[in-house]
A and B are shown apart, each in its own frame.
Chain A
């Protein structure tokens, strides 16, 4: 069973700054990794899939990279609406989430 571990648990940044979120898999998942954004009271929203492909309607400031066991979600310049919780996922496994909060 693959376990996904995200870091950090909480990231405090200001609008306009660059955000880097990490997801580590307990064994290789090749490029089979997605990222989701979840805001309070809402369902998760697919951001990235197959590591680096943006889902429909996702702005270009979001990008994904990595392979094997180490993956990164980067938000190049934070907008106010980007402050949320982010989850990585590979098939039936989810990471525990990273909360991105306003500094």
Chain B
């Protein structure tokens, strides 16, 4: 079955760290660019980071320097190391697969999400 499964969410204090994992199955993981997207409770979607098939990484300013994305193709997995966490980082974190049409790129496969709560 083609799927993505996140793990590693939980409760952490401000300033703390957490490492999220996303396990892929059913497709050729190593050939895809992969992303993390988050959603605060009752709010919209926010792109968090991306890692290319060749390992290049991208971040928005809101998490740059605090979050690190990585991948391990041999284990069909990628990760999000989150340091210096803030209350505003509280959200459901989704991993997603990039779908590149040659015209644009989108997210065609999503995990179910893992909840990260940053609270004193």
Q: Report which A residues bind B (CB closer than 8 A).
A: 29-34, 36, 42-46, 49-50, 53, 55, 87, 89-97
Contact = CB atoms under 8 A, between A and B. Distances in A.
Residue picked from A30, A32, A36, A44, most chain B C-beta under 10 Å: A44
Interface SS of chain B: helix, strand, loop or mixed?
strand
A90 B103 CA distance: 11
A97 B106 contact: no
Interface in B22-63: 44-47, 50, 60
A74 B77 CA distance: 37
A49 B99 CA distance: 9
A43 B103 CA distance: 24
B61 to A, nearest CB: 10
Q: How large is the interface on B (under 10, 10 to 19, 20 to 34, 35 or more residues)?
A: 10 to 19
Contact of B104 (A44, A45, A49, A97): A49
Contacts of A92: 47, 50, 60
Nearest to A55: B108
